[in-house]
Amino acid sequence: MSVVFVLLAILLITIVALLSSGRLGELPAVSVDRAPLALPESGALVSEDIDAIRFAVGTRGYRMDEVDAVLDRLATEADNREVRIAELETRLIGRGVPRPDPADYEV
């Protein structure tokens, strides 16, 4: 009986080795079965972009409530950042510094 288990273990190890080395063929390409995330292709993300993100629900993955909490925090921080940038730009303009052109910055 133990000989059967040893042979099964050897067979299993051999199959795993062949699969991992690609000798039994490659895995098929990943098929796209859902719409892409609705994010802008370029430019800075703003809180509305973060609010609009909807992830597909799958059997495995992250807890939706945790993801929602992180996205809410990111959206709030993005709003706060935009307000702070506007305040700083207003101060600079008040000192005679021209408003920077967003196209001059890489994102």
Of 63, 41, 40, 60, the closest CA to residue 50 belongs to 40
Other Cβ atoms within 10 Å of 50 Cβ, number? 19
Is the full-model pTM beyond 0.85?
A: no
Is 105 among the domain residues? yes
Is 31 among the domain residues? no
Is 50 among the domain residues? yes
Is 81 among the domain residues? yes
Is 107 among the domain residues? yes
Q: What is the pLDDT of residue 96?
A: 86
Is 32 among the domain residues? no
Is 1 among the domain residues? no
Structurally, the chain folds into a number of domains equal to 1
Of 1, 91, 86, 105, the closest CA to residue 43 belongs to 105
Is 49 among the domain residues? yes
- Per-residue pLDDT tens digits for 18-53: 888 877 777 677 677 777 777 777 777 778 888 888
Q: Where in the sequence is the domain holding 98, given as residue range(s)?
A: 37-107
Q: What is the pLDDT of residue 101?
A: 76
